[in-house]
Structure 1
Amino acid sequence: MPRRDYEDDPNAPKANSLVPAASVVVVDADGQVLLQRRTDNGQWALPGGVMELGESLAQCGIRETLEETGIHIEITGIVGTYTNPGHVFAYDDGEVRQEFSICLLGRPVGGTLRVSSESHEVAWFSPAETDALPMVPSIRKRISDWRSGSIPVVR
């Protein structure tokens, strides 16, 4: 389902839903970060998605990472909480979702890199390589927070 991201845009449509989600900064033993190029907006992003009933936030991050990248992970920490009411995602079906995401830290424990219906490229990047990749500001902020080692409590 195609989407358009709006961040602090006065012309953005008003949110009509709030959905808890997890994203994950997955870092391998060489210090590279796992990213996917999304099919819905063409931007590079962290794996992640909507939390389902009956699962924990960590289980959501683990499931979404496997579904979107083929990589099995374990959660090792938290990068931050991101709840900017000025950041909304507008979907073709009329949903306009306000961001509510906890960004977790994880490490790979198995699996094989592969694309999914939500990603058309999946790859490992050095932290410096991420600077040149096209991505929405909120994802860049999460990667920056991880790189700086700071854990923002509220964003």
Structure 2
Amino acid sequence: MARVDFFDDPAAPRATTRIPGASAAVRDEQGRLLLIRREDTGTWALPGGIFELDETIAQCAVRETREETGVEIEVTGLVGIYTDPRHVTLLDDGRAIQPLGVCFHARPVGGEARADGVETTAVAWVEPDRLDEYALFSNHRQRIADALHGTEPRIA
């Protein structure tokens, strides 16, 4: 699914709905962070996606991480809840949405990192001091910063 993200942009379309989703800040024993390269934008992001019926929001983060990266995870805490009304995403089907994202701390418990070839074109375990080398997906910058440096969950 293609998308265009607008941040505090007067030219942005008016959001008509919200779509909840979950992401995971997965850290391994060496402290590296699991990132994906998104097929739709070519940018790097935390694994995650849209919340489906018949699952909890934490199960969404586990499922999306497994689907996009091949890595099985255990959720260990809350990074934050992200609902900025200045962020509008225009999807290729014409819907203009305000994302509602819940980001979790997680640790790997199995699997092998690999891109799914559909939503992700690459997967990497990244040292936090090397994040500047990656073109990060715009709305994940704050989530990553909160995951690495925040002491309390962000509710925004």
TM-score by length of 2: 0.95
CA distance in 1, matches of 2:31, 2:148: 10
Q: Residue 28 of structure 1 contacts residue 108 of structure 1 at CA under 8 Å; is this kept in 2?
A: yes
Match of 2:32 in 1: 32
Query: Corresponding residue for 2:74?
Result: 74
RMSD: 1.1
How far does the alpha carbon of each residue in 1:119-148 deviate from its partner, in whole angstroms, 9 at most, with x for none? 101110011111231123320111111121
Give the structure 1 partner of residue 131 of structure 2: 130
Deviations 1:4-28 (A, max 9, x none): 1111111111112211110110000
Aligned counterparts of 1:125 and 1:19: Cα–Cα separation in 2: 28
Q: Which runs of 5+ in 1 are unaligned?
A: none
Letter in 1 for 2:134: L
The question of whether the paired residues in 2 share the 8 Å contact of 1:48 and 1:61 is answered with yes
Name the structure 1 match of 2:100. 100
> How many residues of Structure 1 are paired with residues of Structure 2 in the alignment?
155
Unaligned segments of structure 2, at least 5 residues: none
SS in 1 for 2:66: helix
Aligned-partner Cα distance in 1 for 2:113–2:137: 23
Structure 1-normalised TM-score?
0.95
